[in-house]
C-alpha cells in the first residue's frame, strides 16, 4: 500500500501540465531530448528481462517511456504514472501510433508521493524531472517502496544551470542542489553511476543523470 502520510500535489500543478501537454510534447520532439535519453539508457546495465515490470514515475507525455521502449531492453510491462490527465492522454496516443508494438504500456493518473502499487512491485524505475516538485527524501522513499531489492532507478534531475533557472520560472519547480539529491539517494540506494550529457545536446543544458540501485 502507499506510504502513510504522503500528500497529493496541488491541483495547480496538474492543471498547468494539462494545459501545456500538446505543446510540451511537440517541443520535446523538436529538441532531441528523446534521442538523448535513448542513447543514455542504451549505455546502462538496467538488468531487465522478459518478466520485468518497469515504471516511469512522473512520465508526462511519455518521452522517457518511449525512449526506453526504443532501446529494445526486454520487459513484460511498462507503466507510466503522472498527475496530468492530458499528458497521459498524449502518452497513450504516442504509444498507439506504433500498432505493431506489443500492448505492454499501461498509464495511471496518480501522485508520485502516493503511488497505487504494492511494495516491491518494480524491477526498474525511471524518473525524469520529478523530484523538482517534491522533497527528494519523500520522492525517493516512495520510489524505493515500490521497487524490488536490487532493482535499478534511472534518475534524471534538473541541475543548477542558466537553462535550469529559466525552466524553474516557466514550470514553477525547485532545483535541488546535486549534493542534496545524492545525499537523499544514498539513504535507500547505492549510486552505481553518474552521467553528464554532452553540451552539444539540449538535454545537457539542464539535466544530469544517475543510475541507482535499491539497497
What's 11-214's CATH class?
A: alpha beta
Query: Do strands 122-128 and 147-156 pair parallel, antiparallel, or not at all (unpaired)?
Result: parallel
Q: Transcribe 29-49 into DSSP letters.
A: HHHTHHHHHHHHHHTS-----
Pairing mode, strands 209-214 and 189-195: antiparallel
pLDDT of residue 169: 81
Q: What pLDDT shows up at residue 72?
A: 86
- pTM score above 0.75: yes
pLDDT at 7: 43
Please list the rounded mean pLDDT of every run of 10 residues in the chain (215 residues): 43 50 49 88 96 95 91 94 89 77 79 97 96 96 98 96 83 91 98 96 93 98
Structure confidence at residue 100 (pLDDT): 53
According to the model, what pLDDT value does residue 208 have? 97
Nearest to 112 by CA among 99, 94, 125, 95: 125
Q: What is the structure's pLDDT at 147?
A: 98
DSSP code per residue over 118-156? -TT-EEEEEEES-GGGS-HHHHHHHHHHTEEEEEEEEEE
φ, ψ at 127 (rounded to 5°): -140, 115
The predicted structure's pLDDT at residue 200: 92
* The pLDDT value given to residue 26: 47
pLDDT score for 94:
83
The DSSP H or E segment spanning 107 is strand 105-109
Would you list the domain boundaries of the chain? 11-214
Q: Which of 147, 132, 146 shows the shortest CA–CA distance to 184?
A: 132
Amino acid at each position: 500500500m502507499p506510504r502513510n502520510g504522503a500528500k497529493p500535489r496541488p491541483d495547480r500543478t496538474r492543471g498547468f501540465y494539462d494545459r501545456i501537454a500538446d505543446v510540451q510534447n511537440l517541443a520535446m520532439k523538436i529538441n532531441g531530448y528523446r534521442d538523448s535519453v535513448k542513447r543514455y539508457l542504451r549505455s546502462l546495465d538496467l538488468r531487465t528481462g522478459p518478466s520485468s515490470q518497469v515504471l516511469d514515475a512522473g512520465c508526462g507525455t511519455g518521452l522517457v517511456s518511449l525512449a526506453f521502449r526504443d532501446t529494445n531492453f526486454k520487459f513484460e510491462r511498462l507503466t507510466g504514472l503522472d498527475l496530468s490527465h492530458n499528458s497521459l492522454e498524449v502518452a497513450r496516443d504516442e504509444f498507439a501510433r506504433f500498432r505493431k508494438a506489443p500492448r505492454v504500456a499501461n498509464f495511471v493518473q496518480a501522485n508520485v508521493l502516493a503511488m497505487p502499487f504494492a511494495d516491491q512491485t518494480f524491477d526498474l524505475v525511471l524518473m525524469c524531472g520529478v523530484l523538482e516538485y517534491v522533497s527528494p527524501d519523500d520522492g525517493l522513499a516512495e520510489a524505493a517502496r515500490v521497487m524490488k531489492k536490487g532493482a535499478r532507478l534511472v534518475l534524471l534531475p534538473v541541475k543548477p544551470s542558466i537553462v535550469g533557472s529559466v525552466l524553474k520560472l516557466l514550470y514553477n519547480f525547485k532545483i535541488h542542489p546535486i549534493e542534496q539529491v545524492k545525499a537523499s539517494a544514498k539513504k535507500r540506494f547505492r549510486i552505481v553511476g553518474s552521467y553528464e550529457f554532452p553540451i552539444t545536446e539540449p538535454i545537457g543544458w539542464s539535466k544530469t543523470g544517475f543510475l541507482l540501485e535499491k539497497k
